[in-house]
Structure 1
Amino acid sequence: MIRLLVQTAVFLATAALGLVVTAAALPGFRFSWSGFTIVVVVFAVAQNLAAAMARPLARKHAPALVAGVGLVSSFVALLVASAFTGLTVDGVVTWVLATLIIWLVTSVAAWMLPKLTRRNDGRA
């Protein structure tokens, strides 16, 4: 149960970080701070579901494209979040760059956060 809570917290934190970094980097990417929590939750859930659906298909039909699942799930999550929340993405270039930035930030953060939160108990 604790592991699930930690995984959920890491997933939400990486989504939040990705959205904040993207909003800071791209002027055409905006959301209201009052609805930030909703944007993060919708984005995180959509990204998780999209990845869960795309990963088995990629493994079965195109194993070389498994790495692209993160990009696809980030794009789908942006579409869903922009449709149901106050997230605004202006222009094709902003959509492409937002997908790349969020994918990069969430990937690096998802890799780093568990390492930072792990207790140092002397094991290698």
Structure 2
Amino acid sequence: MIRLLINVGITLLANAVGLGVAAYLLDDMTVTASAFLIAVVIFTVVYALAQPMLTQMAISAAPALRGGVALVATLLGLIITTLLTDEMSITGIETWIAATVIVWLASLVGALLLPLVFLRNRRDDRARR
């Protein structure tokens, strides 16, 4: 149960990094500070629900499509998040494409690096005991 909560926390933090980096880098993507946490939660839930379904569809239709599933799930998460949150907007096809790639990449890097930070802190705490 604790591992599940840690994984959820890391996923939320990684997606927050992804959305924050995209909003910072892209002029046509805005997220207000008050809506940021709501956007992260909505995006994470949509992504978590869409990704397995899209993966299953890709496996049954064409196994070569599996690599693009994360990008499609990220785009779907952004679309639904902007529809449900008035204080997050993305305008222009180039911005949609860039936001999808940036959020996906930054979330991936965050998901890879954040566990290392938490594990190192936990290892350091055990070493002190």
- Measure, in 1, the Cα distance between the counterparts of 2:59 and 2:113: 25
Unaligned 5+ runs, structure 1? none
Deviation string 1:57-102 (CA, Å, 9 cap, x unpaired) is: 1122221121111100000000000000121001110000000101
Overall identity of the aligned pairs, in %:
38
What TM-score results when the alignment is normalised by the length of structure 2?
0.89
1:97 paired to 2:98? yes
Shift of 1:37: 1.0
What TM-score results when the alignment is normalised by the length of structure 1?
0.92
**Larger Cα-atom Rg:** 2
Unaligned 5+ runs, structure 2? none
- Report which stretch shifted further, 74-83 or 112-121: 112-121
Q: Cα RMSD over matched residues?
A: 1.4
Runs of 4+ that moved beyond 3 A: 119-122
